[in-house]
Amino acid sequence: MPRASTLTGSEPARADAWPAVLTDGVTSDRREVGLLPTGNGLLLLLPDGQEERLAFGELLMVSDLPDRTVIGRRSRPDWRLVARPRLPERERALLRRARARPARTAALYLAVTALLLGGAALLWFRGGPLLEAAAPRVPAAITRPLGEAVVAQISGGRFCTSPEADAALAGLAARLAPEGGMVEPITLRIADLPVANALAAPGGQVLLTRGLIAEASGPDEVAGVLAHELGHIQHRHATRMLLRNLGMSVLLGGSDIGRLSDTLLSHAMSRDMEREADAFALAALARAGVSPKGLVAFFERHQPRATKEGASGRGRDLFATLGTYASTHPPTPERLARFEAAARAARGALQPALDEAGWQALRAACGPGPGP
């Protein structure tokens, strides 16, 4: 096993411990821990020097990705243990085996699985109108905690905030909202992350990054990206995507927030959803009297970088740092041409998205220099 990273507030873990991050599901704290195999389970090495033995029988394999293994706990639905890199094959096999259902429930399990798969297939292949109708009916008690979990997982709980910056962002979001208002309350935050991007999560959660604001040519560029994310919220794209990928299981009471969050982070928005969000953004900017040239600047700056990465065969898009779910701004020529046409056609009096004081407050939200 590789050497574990230094644990928060403690000496380094044992050299043979596997590095992992623990979220206990009770608080928002993320603790760096170490893992050791014990034959019939895992030994959890906590930052304060304490240890906890976890039997494979009480653990669940939530997801097994090339770069990480996500483990859940049967008795605590929101408890998550993320091992990076993923655990060795032996431990992963034992976790998968522990997830197996008893033979006496196999028939019922298969029947329910067939029902869910059938519903999921219907939603996937012919579910556009169904998803659009079903998404508003998923209760906020599911969507808001899910969106908060996605934001917490991506940001690591590191946000930039100040009264002036928060007021500037809130005012800008209100200016970009449609006349009848947004379909749900918006929670808008700045993540202290260097990558230039933004995302919209379920439950009205919108996240901009420090890198986006730092690289922006001006407030109109941030306004254009924010308007795009508000379009995802207005059309409930994240919830529709979740329903499409998990099918009827969500409607039947998907309450495992960690599992739903992992699903969202593993899937990108569809092209049709991106086009809907783009159309909303252009309409919002027109209503607010803000030039679409900010969106043009954003795409012009990132398109060469994305083309270069694609030519290098890296196989991942520009915003892989935030995961595929956050990759909502692929800088394609089609979209750039649409924004350029809108900028040329803009009529009437145009005003900056923020005044100078609001723009400077936004740029200063993360402090005088870049975060670590």
Residue 120 lies in a domain: no
Whether residues 85 and 37 fall in one domain: yes
342: left (phi over 0), alpha (psi -120 to 50) or beta: alpha
Two structure tokens written together for 219:
């407030």
Whether residues 46 and 158 fall in one domain: no
**Which of 54, 81, 98 corresponds to the end of one domain?**
98
Euclidean distance between CA atoms 258 and 266, whole angstroms = 12
% of the chain surpassing 90 pLDDT: 29
Residue 177 lies in a domain: yes
pLDDT digits (tens, 9 = 90+) for 296-305: 998 888 765 5
Two structure tokens written together for 361:
């407050």
- DSSP secondary structure of 307-359: HHHHHTT--S-TTGGG-GGG------HHHHHHHHHHHHH--S----SS-HHHH
Return the pLDDT at 216: 93
Residue 323 lies in a domain: yes
φ, ψ (nearest 5 deg) of residue 54: -120, 115
Q: Are 207 and 156 in contact (CB under 8 A)?
A: no
Whether residues 270 and 351 fall in one domain: yes
- DSSP secondary structure of 98-123: HTPPPGGGHHHHHHHHHHHHHHHHHH
Return the pLDDT at 323: 41
Euclidean distance between CA atoms 303 and 223, whole angstroms = 19
User: What residue numbers bound the domain in which 314 lies?
Assistant: 129-363
Q: Average pLDDT of 43-52?
A: 88
Residue 223 lies in a domain: yes
Whether residues 262 and 355 fall in one domain: yes
pLDDT digits (tens, 9 = 90+) for 174-193: 999 998 899 999 999 999 99
Q: Are 290 and 348 in contact (CB under 8 A)?
A: no
CATH of the domain at 58: 2.30.29.30
- Note if the pTM is more than 0.85: no
Return the pLDDT at 220: 96
% of the chain surpassing 70 pLDDT: 69
Alpha helices (H) in 192-253, listed in sequence order:
210-215, 219-234, 237-246, 248-251
**Which of 98, 116, 146 corresponds to the end of one domain?**
98
Instruction: Name the domain count of the chain.
Output: 2
Q: Is the pLDDT of residue 140 over 90?
A: no
Q: Which range, 101-105, 150-154, 220-224, 299-303, has the best average confidence (pLDDT)?
A: 220-224
Residue 370 lies in a domain: no
* Residue 34 β-bridge partners: 19, 45
Q: Are 73 and 259 in contact (CB under 8 A)?
A: no
Whether residues 46 and 94 fall in one domain: yes
Whether residues 48 and 196 fall in one domain: no
Whether residues 133 and 89 fall in one domain: no
3-state secondary structure (DSSP) of residue 183: coil
Residue 241 lies in a domain: yes
For residue 183, give the amino acid letter.
V
Report which DSSP code applies to 13. P
Residue 116 lies in a domain: no
Whether residues 63 and 138 fall in one domain: no
What is the chain's mean pLDDT, rounded? 76
Q: Which range, 21-30, 175-184, 297-306, 341-350, has the best average confidence (pLDDT)?
A: 175-184
Whether residues 76 and 155 fall in one domain: no
Whether residues 351 and 235 fall in one domain: yes
Whether residues 223 and 301 fall in one domain: yes
Residue 260 lies in a domain: yes
Q: Which residue has the higher pLDDT, 303 or 213?
A: 213
Q: Is the pLDDT of residue 274 over 80?
A: yes
Q: Is the pLDDT of residue 5 over 70?
A: no
Continuous segment of H or E residues that includes residue 151: helix 140-155
58-61: list long-range contacts, CB under 8 Å, 24+ apart: 59/95, 59/98, 60/95, 60/98, 60/99, 61/92, 61/95, 61/96, 61/98, 61/99
Whether residues 308 and 197 fall in one domain: yes
Report which DSSP code applies to 236. T
